[in-house]
Amino acid sequence: MKYLIILPVLLLSGCFTTVPVVAKFPNVPAVLREKCPPLNKLEGEPASIVDLNNVVIENYTLYHECSMRLDAWNTWYDTQKKIFDEVK
């Protein structure tokens, strides 16, 4: 009989026990923090207009791709960090 009284007390005491858990927002992996590639330079001294135009187009493409990728990543990370901090 006394075991029947002790059993519910033991079972209910587990419901009221708090365990301290500290959640930490993960840091950015190094792969996602890589820098943009360097821009292309004109090769050779007498550069033609066609060569100049090709280098400019390639540089604009490199810059805008990298810029969009980094902006999207930073926006996503900042939003997730803000949500994480608000939940705590």
Domain ranges of the chain: 22-87
Alpha carbons within 13 A on the beta-carbon side of 30: 0
Give percent of the chain above pLDDT 90: 18
Q: What are 40-79's pLDDT values in tens digits?
A: 988 877 878 898 999 999 999 999 999 888 888 888 888 9
For the chain, percent of residues with pLDDT exceeding 70: 81
Indicate the pTM of the whole model: 0.56
- Confidence class of residue 15 from pLDDT cuts 50, 70 and 90? low
If you average pLDDT over residues 74-86, what whole number do you get?
Answer: 89
Name the residue with tokens 């959640």.
23
CA angle (43, 37, 57) in 5-degree steps: 55
